[in-house]
Structure 1
Amino acid sequence: MSNVAIADTVAPSDASKSILARLGAGFISRLVIIIPYVWLLFFFLVPFIIVFKISLSQTAIAMPPYTPTLDFSDGISGFFARFGGLNFDNYVWLTQDALYFNAYVSSVVIAGISTILTLLVGYPIAYGMARAPASIRPTLLMLVILPFWTSFLIRVYAWIGILKPEGLLNQLLLSLHIISEPLVILNTYTAIFIGIVYSYLPFMVLPLYSSLEKMDYSLIEAAKDLGCPPTSAFWKITFPLSLPGVIAGCLLVFIPAVGEFVIPDLLGGSQTLMIGKTLWNEFFANRDWPVSSAVAVILLLLLTVPIMIFQQAQARAQEQDK
């Protein structure tokens, strides 16, 4: 057999292998995209639709304690026929009662202040970790993650023993003669801020550390050589380059802090007004599932819509830079 004949028989095999390789790579790339969307579908969109459906229902003395407005038991035709009877009375009720508005505003303010405090505490920690010798960075990283090895509830309960009038903090301050009488910290907003900052500090430190570690510190050295003071070099070089970590950390702290329930309930006392506690009271104390579902839907929109707007603005800015 001639060399030309051999080449003719081998070439189709190589071409088929190349086609299969491209098909396999395309399938894997699509699978990487599909998996997150399937996850969001089952664990975000479907629960949201269920909660939204309950928010359109009417309260009833039954189990579950509501009368569904939309129900598939009457068939598809009956389901669509009920669309004419839909009402948003539960959402209107939220606008008529100042309790819910004050709870939303209080939650956003507390979460915002807590996020700023967490950033002020977490940034120096992340910066110190990024500038530490490479040999000890894994140890420092493990120390940041170490609190996650303990139950969140136990850690919050521990702060009760620290902050109460006869707790460890007051005993220490009294023994050092810094104060003459115990400080009232527990069941105040100060205790809530302490609890949130402590609990969510790793969520701030980790994104900041990721951004600061990848930064080219030769830029700082060049700025110093050109006579730039360290403070100016930080605000003109270090902080702008770490903004992606700052934004990610702030979002990771702010979003769960808005709906926080455990920390305000245990450290803030019964007088603390936050939407998480209001939501819990509506579900379990008042057993008003439709109203509580409406509260949850508005809370979700309150958090999701600004994030989507911010992402779209950021995407436009990146396209303009290109």
Structure 2
Amino acid sequence: MRSRMLPYWLLLPAALWLFLFFLIPFLSLVATSLYDPDGSVLTGYHVTWHFANFPDAIKAYGPHLWRSVWWALIATALCLVFGYILAYTIAFKTGRWKNLVLVMVVAPFFTSFLIRTDAWKLILGDHGWVVHALQSVHLLSQDGRILATPVAAIAGLTYNYLPFAILPLYTSIEKVDRRLIEAAGDLYASPFRAFLNVTLPLTMPGVVGASLLTFIPAVGDYINAQLLGSTNDRVIGADIQSLFTTTQDYAAAGALSVTLLVVVLAATLIYVRKAGTEELL
């Protein structure tokens, strides 16, 4: 009897952790989204099942939500391209330097997220070398700029979440049996054809994992937009933070938070299903 109960006792700490720090906060957030919108800090908030909070919040902040999703999609695509190239190079080309290169990939995590993002203000500044280089090759006008534009915000998202894409891609690519690639070459497949038919399908779990690890935090990120983007290009994370802390409109903030959660969850389920890797769930 004791041996049968042992697995459940081992799962108990994790179950308690999820209950205390995920389920209860989630239910509290859902309750917040159904507050009476006429409530305030002085008069108090009450759950009145006011479902109209959701369409009202989407109507007021919908463009910011879709901007967040769009920027996160672009950053995820860039992370996949650059991350796959780097992960492939690390797995197959670095040899005895593999561990050193992996340490270099992880090294940025030892610096604060805010410091790393703020450093990009110097790199992309109007007097930085990036702007001067682009102006010298006439890819940017003499009075053009990168900082305080969507390009800068997306560049910050790509940089900050690139390691989240590289590591799962590297793990997946390293497991590929090189003899399969050699066999594709023996069957007169070009390197590109062998990549599409052999390497890429075998590494799809890593691609899906990298996509999720990049997209999910990027869609709610507002630090890059706040430090690198324009004040006119607000994202949903900044709205939620402002509604909770500044205006204290808890009903709208809760409705936006739940809406964002549903959008991310739906996009994740659709993507995983279309990618043909349902076993990741």
TM-score normalised according to structure 1 size: 0.78
Alignment partner of 1:49 is 2:27:
yes
Q: Give the conservation status (yes or no) of the 8 Å contact 1:166–1:182.
A: no
Q: Give the conservation status (yes or no) of the 8 Å contact 2:131–2:145.
A: no
- Quickly say closer, same or farther: Cα 1:280–1:162, change in 2 above 3 A: same
Q: Give the conservation status (yes or no) of the 8 Å contact 2:33–2:251.
A: yes
The correspondence for 2:254, drawn from 250, 275, 293, is: 293
Alignment partner of 1:62 is 2:11:
no
Query: How much does 1:62 deviate?
Result: 2.4
The correspondence for 2:207, drawn from 227, 246, 250, is: 246
Q: How far apart in 1 are the matches of 2:145 and 2:26?
A: 41
Q: How far apart in 2 are the matches of 1:315 and 1:34?
A: 32
Q: How many residues are treated as equivalent by the alignment?
A: 276
RMSD over aligned CA atoms reads 2.5
Q: Give the conservation status (yes or no) of the 8 Å contact 1:118–1:197.
A: yes
SS at match of 2:126: coil
Deviations for 1:119-143, whole angstroms, at most 9, x for unmatched residues? Answer: 1111000000110355221111111
Q: Unaligned 5+ residue runs, structure 2?
A: none
The correspondence for 1:262, drawn from 212, 220, 223, is: 223
Q: How far apart in 2 are the matches of 1:291 and 1:101?
A: 12
**Structure 1 partner of 2:150:** 189
**Structure 2 partner of 1:107:** 68
Counterpart amino acid of 2:249?
A: D
Q: Unaligned 5+ residue runs, structure 1?
A: 1-18, 70-84
Counterpart amino acid of 1:275?
A: I
Q: Give the conservation status (yes or no) of the 8 Å contact 1:57–1:66.
A: no
Q: Give the conservation status (yes or no) of the 8 Å contact 2:164–2:213.
A: yes
Q: Give the conservation status (yes or no) of the 8 Å contact 2:39–2:45.
A: yes
Query: How much does 1:35 deviate?
Result: 3.9
SS at match of 2:176: coil
Q: How far apart in 2 are the matches of 1:160 and 1:313?
A: 38
Q: Which has the higher contact order (CA 8 A, sep 6+)?
A: 2
Q: How far apart in 2 are the matches of 1:242 and 1:315?
A: 12
**Structure 2 partner of 1:205:** 166
| Structure 1 range deviating more: 132-141 or 188-197 | 132-141
**Structure 2 partner of 1:178:** 137
Q: How far apart in 1 are the matches of 2:110 and 2:277?
A: 40
Identical pairs, percent: 34
SS at match of 2:216: helix
**Structure 2 partner of 1:93:** 56
Alignment partner of 1:145 is 2:123:
no
**Structure 2 partner of 1:38:** 16
Query: How much does 1:317 deviate?
Result: 6.3
Q: How far apart in 1 are the matches of 2:83 and 2:154?
A: 14
**Structure 2 partner of 1:307:** 268
Query: How much does 1:271 deviate?
Result: 0.8
SS at match of 1:190: helix
**Structure 2 partner of 1:128:** 89
**Structure 2 partner of 1:227:** 188
Query: How much does 1:60 deviate?
Result: 3.5
- Quickly say closer, same or farther: Cα 1:281–1:317, change in 2 above 3 A: closer
